[in-house]
Amino acid sequence: MLLLVLALLFPGPCLLSLPADGPVVRGFAPEGLYGGHWGIDIAVDLATPVRTAASGVVTFSGNVAGNETVTVHHGGGVRTSYSYLTARYVTTGQAVAAGTILGASGRDHGIESVHFSLRLGARYADPLSSCGTVGPPSAALRLAPTFATYPVSRAPRSSRRDI
Protein backbone atom coordinates (compact mmCIF):
# COMPACT_ATOMS: atom_id res chain seq x y z
CA MET A 1 0.00 0.00 0.00
CA LEU A 2 2.91 2.38 0.60
CA LEU A 3 3.76 2.12 -3.10
CA LEU A 4 0.19 3.07 -4.02
CA VAL A 5 0.35 6.13 -1.74
CA LEU A 6 3.73 7.21 -3.14
CA ALA A 7 2.54 6.69 -6.68
CA LEU A 8 -0.55 8.82 -6.02
CA LEU A 9 1.57 11.60 -4.54
CA PHE A 10 4.05 11.41 -7.44
CA PRO A 11 1.89 10.33 -10.38
CA GLY A 12 3.28 8.57 -13.38
CA PRO A 13 1.50 5.76 -15.17
CA CYS A 14 -2.13 5.30 -14.17
CA LEU A 15 -2.45 3.30 -10.94
CA LEU A 16 -6.18 3.74 -10.44
CA SER A 17 -8.72 2.70 -13.03
CA LEU A 18 -11.64 4.95 -13.78
CA PRO A 19 -14.88 3.36 -12.55
CA ALA A 20 -16.57 3.51 -15.97
CA ASP A 21 -15.73 4.38 -19.55
CA GLY A 22 -17.07 7.73 -20.69
CA PRO A 23 -16.21 11.40 -21.05
CA VAL A 24 -15.62 13.56 -17.99
CA VAL A 25 -18.52 16.02 -17.98
CA ARG A 26 -17.62 17.82 -14.76
CA GLY A 27 -14.09 18.10 -13.45
CA PHE A 28 -12.45 18.44 -10.06
CA ALA A 29 -12.93 21.99 -8.75
CA PRO A 30 -12.29 22.06 -4.98
CA GLU A 31 -13.14 25.73 -4.55
CA GLY A 32 -16.18 27.75 -5.36
CA LEU A 33 -19.90 27.95 -5.12
CA TYR A 34 -21.50 25.46 -2.70
CA GLY A 35 -18.10 24.25 -1.46
CA GLY A 36 -16.76 23.18 -4.85
CA HIS A 37 -16.81 19.87 -6.70
CA TRP A 38 -14.66 17.26 -4.93
CA GLY A 39 -14.38 14.67 -7.69
CA ILE A 40 -15.21 14.11 -11.33
CA ASP A 41 -18.44 13.15 -13.08
CA ILE A 42 -18.21 10.61 -15.89
CA ALA A 43 -21.08 10.47 -18.41
CA VAL A 44 -22.34 6.91 -18.90
CA ASP A 45 -25.63 5.26 -19.81
CA LEU A 46 -28.05 4.66 -16.96
CA ALA A 47 -27.31 1.44 -15.02
CA THR A 48 -23.77 1.08 -16.40
CA PRO A 49 -21.65 -1.17 -14.12
CA VAL A 50 -19.44 0.95 -11.81
CA ARG A 51 -16.15 -0.75 -10.90
CA THR A 52 -13.71 -0.13 -8.08
CA ALA A 53 -10.55 1.75 -9.06
CA ALA A 54 -8.24 -0.58 -7.09
CA SER A 55 -8.49 -3.39 -4.54
CA GLY A 56 -9.51 -2.57 -0.99
CA VAL A 57 -12.25 -2.85 1.63
CA VAL A 58 -15.69 -1.23 1.40
CA THR A 59 -15.93 1.20 4.33
CA PHE A 60 -19.34 2.62 3.41
CA SER A 61 -22.22 1.37 1.31
CA GLY A 62 -25.37 3.38 1.79
CA ASN A 63 -27.39 6.48 1.13
CA VAL A 64 -26.03 10.01 1.54
CA ALA A 65 -28.48 12.88 1.08
CA GLY A 66 -30.69 10.72 -1.14
CA ASN A 67 -27.80 9.37 -3.24
CA GLU A 68 -26.56 5.79 -3.23
CA THR A 69 -22.82 5.86 -2.45
CA VAL A 70 -19.95 3.39 -1.97
CA THR A 71 -16.55 4.22 -0.42
CA VAL A 72 -13.54 1.90 -0.68
CA HIS A 73 -10.39 2.18 1.48
CA HIS A 74 -7.32 1.03 -0.43
CA GLY A 75 -4.85 1.26 2.47
CA GLY A 76 -2.41 3.99 3.43
CA GLY A 77 -5.20 6.56 3.76
CA VAL A 78 -6.22 6.24 0.09
CA ARG A 79 -10.00 6.17 -0.39
CA THR A 80 -12.24 6.36 -3.43
CA SER A 81 -15.96 7.09 -3.46
CA TYR A 82 -18.59 6.38 -6.10
CA SER A 83 -21.87 8.30 -5.97
CA TYR A 84 -25.19 8.76 -7.77
CA LEU A 85 -25.69 5.03 -8.11
CA THR A 86 -29.06 3.41 -8.87
CA ALA A 87 -28.01 0.19 -7.12
CA ARG A 88 -25.26 -0.99 -4.75
CA TYR A 89 -23.92 -4.55 -5.01
CA VAL A 90 -21.44 -4.50 -2.10
CA THR A 91 -21.71 -4.20 1.67
CA THR A 92 -19.66 -2.42 4.31
CA GLY A 93 -16.67 -4.56 5.36
CA GLN A 94 -16.52 -6.49 2.09
CA ALA A 95 -13.08 -6.96 0.48
CA VAL A 96 -13.07 -6.08 -3.22
CA ALA A 97 -10.54 -6.72 -5.98
CA ALA A 98 -9.67 -4.08 -8.56
CA GLY A 99 -12.44 -3.93 -11.14
CA THR A 100 -15.15 -5.42 -8.88
CA ILE A 101 -18.60 -4.12 -9.82
CA LEU A 102 -19.75 -1.96 -6.90
CA GLY A 103 -23.09 -0.87 -8.31
CA ALA A 104 -24.93 0.63 -11.26
CA SER A 105 -24.67 4.25 -12.41
CA GLY A 106 -27.49 6.73 -12.01
CA ARG A 107 -28.18 10.42 -12.58
CA ASP A 108 -26.62 13.59 -11.20
CA HIS A 109 -28.56 16.81 -11.80
CA GLY A 110 -30.48 15.10 -14.62
CA ILE A 111 -27.35 13.82 -16.38
CA GLU A 112 -26.70 10.07 -16.55
CA SER A 113 -23.30 9.76 -14.88
CA VAL A 114 -21.24 8.47 -11.98
CA HIS A 115 -19.39 10.72 -9.50
CA PHE A 116 -15.86 9.53 -8.62
CA SER A 117 -13.74 11.08 -5.85
CA LEU A 118 -10.27 10.34 -4.45
CA ARG A 119 -8.95 11.14 -0.97
CA LEU A 120 -5.38 10.93 0.25
CA GLY A 121 -5.72 11.04 4.03
CA ALA A 122 -8.04 13.96 4.79
CA ARG A 123 -7.28 15.73 1.50
CA TYR A 124 -9.35 15.39 -1.65
CA ALA A 125 -7.32 15.01 -4.85
CA ASP A 126 -8.18 15.12 -8.53
CA PRO A 127 -8.79 11.50 -9.62
CA LEU A 128 -7.45 12.36 -13.08
CA SER A 129 -4.07 13.10 -11.48
CA SER A 130 -3.78 9.36 -10.84
CA CYS A 131 -5.54 8.20 -13.99
CA GLY A 132 -4.62 10.78 -16.58
CA THR A 133 -0.84 10.85 -17.02
CA VAL A 134 1.76 8.80 -18.83
CA GLY A 135 5.51 8.49 -18.41
CA PRO A 136 7.70 9.23 -15.39
CA PRO A 137 6.71 12.11 -13.08
CA SER A 138 9.36 14.42 -14.53
CA ALA A 139 7.96 14.04 -18.04
CA ALA A 140 4.29 13.49 -17.28
CA LEU A 141 1.88 14.52 -20.01
CA ARG A 142 -1.65 15.55 -19.16
CA LEU A 143 -4.22 13.55 -21.14
CA ALA A 144 -7.24 15.55 -20.00
CA PRO A 145 -7.70 19.31 -19.73
CA THR A 146 -7.37 20.97 -16.36
CA PHE A 147 -10.78 22.23 -15.33
CA ALA A 148 -11.08 25.76 -14.00
CA THR A 149 -12.15 26.21 -10.41
CA TYR A 150 -15.25 28.16 -9.50
CA PRO A 151 -14.70 31.91 -9.07
CA VAL A 152 -16.20 32.06 -5.55
CA SER A 153 -14.13 30.89 -2.58
CA ARG A 154 -15.55 28.17 -0.36
CA ALA A 155 -16.10 27.81 3.35
CA PRO A 156 -13.83 25.40 5.27
CA ARG A 157 -14.90 21.78 4.81
CA SER A 158 -16.26 20.01 7.89
CA SER A 159 -13.83 17.54 9.46
CA ARG A 160 -16.85 15.36 10.34
CA ARG A 161 -17.55 14.66 6.67
CA ASP A 162 -15.86 11.31 6.23
CA ILE A 163 -17.87 8.90 4.11
pLDDT in tens, 9-39: 544 445 789 999 999 998 888 776 667 789 9
pLDDT class for 142, splitting at 50, 70, 90? very low
Query: In this structure, is residue 2 part of a structural domain?
Result: no
Residue 140 pLDDT level (bands cut at 50, 70, 90) = very low
For residue 15, which of 59, 75, 58 has the smallest C-alpha distance? 75
Whether residue 133 is contained in a domain is answered as: no
134: in domain: no
Domain, as residue range, for 107 = 16-126
Number of residues that this document lists for the chain:
163
Within a domain: residue 42? yes
* Each residue's pLDDT tens digit, 68-110: 999 999 999 999 999 999 999 999 999 999 999 999 999 988 8
CATH number where 59 lies? 2.70.70.10
How many domains does the structure of the chain reveal? 1
Q: Is residue 51 part of a domain?
A: yes
The Cα diameter of the chain in Å comes to 42
